[in-house]
Homo-oligomer: A and B are copies of this chain.
Amino acid sequence: MTDRIFNFSAGPATLPVSVLEQAQSEMLNYRGAGMSVMEMSHRSKAFESIIQHAEADLRSLLSIPENYKVLFLQGGASLQFTMVPMNLQSKGKSADYILTGSWGQGAFKEAKKLGSVREAATTAVSNFNRLPSPDEIKLDSGAAYVHFTSNETIFGVEFDEEPATGDVPLVCDMSSDFISRPVAVSKYGLIYAGAQKNAGPAGATIVIVRDDLLESVPDNLPAMLDYRNLAKNGSMYNTPPCYAIYICGLVFKWLIDDVGGLEKMHALNKEKARILYDAIDSSDGYYRGHAEKDCRSLMNVTFRLPSEELENKFIKEATAAGLDGLKGHRSVGGLRASIYNAFPKTGVEKLVEFMNEFQKNSG
């Protein structure tokens, strides 16, 4: 615990200290099993219990209806960019993509390789600093699905509510705000999320998919890319990423027992983001947010300083002060503070103090 720093990394990202401490204490002998979770057969009773509890706790956190399967997979959201169209575009239908940042663009690019796709909306022209309004989204009512990215980490824009898609199944890359707030899962056909922002370490990918969508998965897909096959085998068609799943399970438990559920997590995330955006908005324009106010992300706060020179100075001095990982992505420049679930409020307060001090000294 000593000498831990405040880690604003966009992902992999900060995990709850209590989770790390528990993993540490169980490293050589998991609860009397006589071995580490890393050494355990995935067919053992001990590991079956780990994955079943992880799934049950996730179902409880998100109130996932019974007609949805929960899968723990590999390959990150980037492999889902391929698996989604491969599995869901069975009938030669087109698919709609709402583009609000780099991740949506990435998903669109991969889907294009496999079938017919449409750009239903894009905010590229303003460098993804906002979300499209409902009337800017041009949907194809015959589409196989509509894909969107609930939070774009690079630009720091986040949907507050799902786009309305009528009967067309909604597919969401929820990687960077997954389990940061309650979600009405029943509005979605499929949700996917790389674990490494809010849910656990890199190496596990969570997919939540409605049963009826599995029925039209094409035959003869590669086994490892076939949702139906993976669901049928309870995420254990082959050896799953056991240790990453174990850590996700500990994080879910932490959210339930320590935080008190997703309503409380959401309130805390809103509070952390408010503190930071308030500091930006009350800086007399010294700090300028990239995203428009009504689209601001609770997870990734993107902002600029008066000059690149000052930005570099800020990053250097912040790092020295134990505020790490604040450099923004090159597509936006400036700074990005990622403040996922496990990022402590004290770290946000420390950053705001630092920002105020930095502005004063540069004046």
- A residues engaging B (CB < 8 A)? 1-5, 7, 9-15, 17, 20-21, 23-24, 27-29, 32-36, 38-42, 44, 74-79, 81-82, 109-110, 113-114, 194, 196, 200-204, 220-225, 237-244, 247, 322, 324-325
Distance from A43 Cβ to chain B, minimum over Cβ atoms (Å): 9
Whether the Cβ atoms of A76 and B238 lie closer than 8 Å is yes
User: Chain B residues near A20 (CB, 8 Å)?
Assistant: 27-28, 36, 38
Copies of this chain, whole number: 2
Distance from A200 Cβ to chain B, minimum over Cβ atoms (Å): 8
Whether the Cβ atoms of A34 and B222 lie closer than 8 Å is no
User: Chain B residues near A223 (CB, 8 Å)?
Assistant: 78, 81-82, 109-110
Whether the Cβ atoms of A27 and B29 lie closer than 8 Å is no
User: Chain B residues near A243 (CB, 8 Å)?
Assistant: 201-203, 243-244
Q: Of B39, B204, B247, which is within 8 A of A15 by CB? A: B39
Whether the Cβ atoms of A12 and B239 lie closer than 8 Å is yes
User: Chain B residues near A82 (CB, 8 Å)?
Assistant: 222-225
Given contacts A78-B223, A223-B78, A224-B79, whether A12 and B242 have CB atoms under 8 Å apart is yes
User: Chain B residues near A203 (CB, 8 Å)?
Assistant: 74, 203-204, 240-244
Q: Of B39, B110, B224, which is within 8 A of A9 by CB? A: B39
User: Chain B residues near A3 (CB, 8 Å)?
Assistant: 29, 32, 34
User: Chain B residues near A241 (CB, 8 Å)?
Assistant: 74, 202-203, 241, 244
User: Chain B residues near A44 (CB, 8 Å)?
Assistant: 9, 325
Give bound CA distance, A241 to B194, whole Å.
11
Whether the Cβ atoms of A5 and B34 lie closer than 8 Å is yes
Q: Of B5, B114, B200, which is within 8 A of A35 by CB? A: B5
Closest to A9 in B: B41
Whether the Cβ atoms of B220 and A113 lie closer than 8 Å is yes
Given A20-B38, A76-B224, list of 19 further CB < 8 A pairs?
A: A1-B28, A21-B28, A23-B27, A38-B200, A38-B247, A44-B325, A74-B76, A75-B79, A78-B223, A79-B222, A79-B224, A81-B224, A82-B224, A113-B220, A202-B241, A202-B242, A203-B240, A203-B244, A241-B244
User: Chain B residues near A2 (CB, 8 Å)?
Assistant: 29
Q: Of B14, B79, B238, which is within 8 A of A77 by CB? A: B238
Whether the Cβ atoms of A34 and B7 lie closer than 8 Å is yes
Whether the Cβ atoms of B29 and A78 lie closer than 8 Å is no
Give bound CA distance, A194 to B74, whole Å.
13
Q: Which 4 A-B pairs have the closest CB atoms?
A: A5-B34, A203-B241, A82-B222, A78-B238
Give bound CA distance, A17 to B222, whole Å.
37
Give bound CA distance, A28 to B7, whole Å.
13
Whether the Cβ atoms of A39 and B7 lie closer than 8 Å is yes
Q: Of B15, B35, B200, which is within 8 A of A7 by CB? A: B35
User: Chain B residues near A237 (CB, 8 Å)?
Assistant: 78
Give bound CA distance, A7 to B36, whole Å.
10
Whether the Cβ atoms of A10 and B41 lie closer than 8 Å is yes
Give bound CA distance, A324 to B202, whole Å.
30
User: Chain B residues near A40 (CB, 8 Å)?
Assistant: 9, 12
Give bound CA distance, A337 to B33, whole Å.
18
User: Chain B residues near A114 (CB, 8 Å)?
Assistant: 222
Give bound CA distance, A204 to B237, whole Å.
16
User: Chain B residues near A36 (CB, 8 Å)?
Assistant: 15, 20
Q: Of B14, B38, B76, which is within 8 A of A39 by CB? A: B14
